[in-house]
Amino acid sequence: MLKIRLKRLGRKKQPFYRIILIDSRKKRDGKAIKEIGFYNPLNKKHHIDILTINDKVTQGAQITKTVKNIINKYYK
| Predicted model pTM | 0.89
- Residues 36-51 have pLDDT tens digits of 999 999 998 999 999 9
**3-state SS, residue 5:** strand
The DSSP secondary-structure symbol of 49 reads: -
State the pLDDT confidence band at 30, using cuts at 50, 70 and 90.
confident
pLDDT at 76 over 80: no
* Amino acid at the residue 24: S
CA-closest candidate to residue 56, choices 7, 22, 28: 22
2-75, which class in CATH?
alpha beta
The whole-number pLDDT of residue 64 equals: 96
Average pLDDT, stretch 61-73?
A: 96
Residue 73 is predicted with a pLDDT of 93
